Amino acid sequence: MTTLQKVLIAACILFAAPLVHAQASESTITNQIKTLRGLSPAERTQLTIKLASEIQALPAGVPRLHLADALAHLVTEGDQGMDALQAVADALTQSLADTPVPAKAKDDQPPMPYKDLANLVRYEHVTTNLTDPLYLKASDILAANDADIEKADFTLKDLHGKKVTFSDLRGKIVMVNFWATWCAPCRAEMPELDAIYTHFQAQGLVVLSITDEDPFKANSFVAPNKYHPPVLIDADNNVHKLFHVEGIPRTFVFNRDGKLVAEAIDQRTQRQFLKMLSETDLHP
């Protein structure tokens, strides 16, 4: 072996070593995912993008898929930006392409990771090149669910026992928000909903905050916080099921004709809520 060959080999080892050392482990990524909710918005976005990249660098397998899916559940909280959303969608796409998940024989429904990716694409407007039949089925289910929701009607009582019927609100802009007192992202977005409701109420905006908790528990939370939108009690979860709500918070915007024009699958900021309302004729 010549001196030049020895130098080249040594250089390759020298440059490769930091790359091997820098590759994050599954446990390191897991621990960092647990810290995301405690970070500032800017820090959270930066770390989310970094974690998505590190997940993609992991060996293919179920652990990588679980990490990508866990990150997908968190990236939709608040306004983390399109770069973070797309990075997570790319990580989940790659993980599903490398490690497909079979449907359960008993119901033949798409497993959760396919649903989560379909949610990101449909409601967060990211892109994916995944063509797995289970992903396509998940996408079709979301489209069918939205068609159901647009035809939905219900009557619920508010905290004072007054009945509110959804179809009676035609001519109004209606935001239907599903929440619960135990849900941290729900609590985080409620001041934003309250401010928007107060500002736009004179223009015909109605915000219906629906919970399946008992009236006393709901009122014990909203009263001290001076939350103004009407809170409706869906004790038997029928309206949750009617709107295909599997996780909260969840928000739907209907225009004055009752058409579903915008939908949020997680916590939203005031800016994001205003963007949803821009699909109607409301003006700040």
pLDDT digits (tens, 9 = 90+) for 210-226: 999 999 999 999 999 99
pLDDT at 21 over 50: no
Core vs surface per residue 253-262: b (16+ CB within 10 A) or e: bbbeebebbb
Give dist(CA 74, CA 267) in Å, integer.
10
Alpha-carbon dihedral of residues 121, 123, 125, 126, nearest 10 degrees?
-40
Mean of all residue pLDDT scores within the chain: 92
What does the pLDDT read at residue 24? 87
Cβ-contact 29, 55 below 8 angstroms: yes
Give dist(CA 107, CA 176) in Å, integer.
29
Of all helices (H) and strands (E), which one includes residue 164?
Answer: strand 163-165
Cβ atoms within 10 A of the Cβ of 7, count?
10
CA 2 → CA 12, 14, 19, distances in Å? 16, 18, 27
**Greater pLDDT, 79 or 107:** 79
263 φ, ψ (degrees, to nearest 5): -150, 140
Give dist(CA 241, CA 160) in Å, integer.
24
Give the residue among 141, 158, 281, 166 at the shortest CA–CA distance from 227.
158
pLDDT average, residue stretch 248-252 = 98
pLDDT at 18 over 50: no
Cβ-contact 154, 242 below 8 angstroms: yes
Q: Residue 93 burial (CB < 10 Å; 0-12/13-18/19+)?
A: buried
Give dist(CA 122, CA 126) in Å, integer.
8
> Which residue matches tokens 């599954």?
26
Q: What is the pTM of this model?
A: 0.88
What does the pLDDT read at residue 10? 44
Cβ-contact 101, 111 below 8 angstroms: yes
